Amino acid sequence: MNTDIFSVDYFKEALRIHIKKNEGTVKAIHAANSYYRSIVASIIYDTRHKKMDLILRLRNLDEAYNEIKAEIRDKTSSEQ
């Protein structure tokens, strides 16, 4: 597992933690969407880093989000 900050694994773990924190309050997909939008907004407005670093973060966040979203869909479809 790559635990480097802003790696895919980092974002996957952060998404899982955010989903768990909001369990019972909102659906898992809504918690994931909320986290995703929040991080994208903060990355876009973070002017302290180079463009390439921002692009890498966004790509990793997007990949992590899509993998977690697929896990949620798989879990939801297997429960039905």
- With respect to residue 61, please indicate whether it lies within any of the assigned structural domains: yes
Domain total in the chain: 1
- With respect to residue 1, please indicate whether it lies within any of the assigned structural domains: no
- With respect to residue 70, please indicate whether it lies within any of the assigned structural domains: yes
Which residues are within 8 A (CB) of 72 and not within 5 positions of it... i.e. 6 or more apart? 19, 28, 29, 32
- Locate tokens 């180079």: which residue? 50
Range of the domain at 28: 8-79
- Locate tokens 């890498």: which residue? 56
CB 28 within 8 A of CB 72: yes
Q: Write out the two tokens for 75.
A: 């879990």
27-63 pLDDT per residue, tens: 999 999 999 999 988 877 776 666 777 788 889 999 9
| pLDDT reading at 15 higher than 90 | yes
* Helix H or strand E encompassing 64: helix 51-79
- With respect to residue 40, please indicate whether it lies within any of the assigned structural domains: yes
Query: In this predicted model, which residue has the larger pLDDT, 5 or 29?
Result: 29
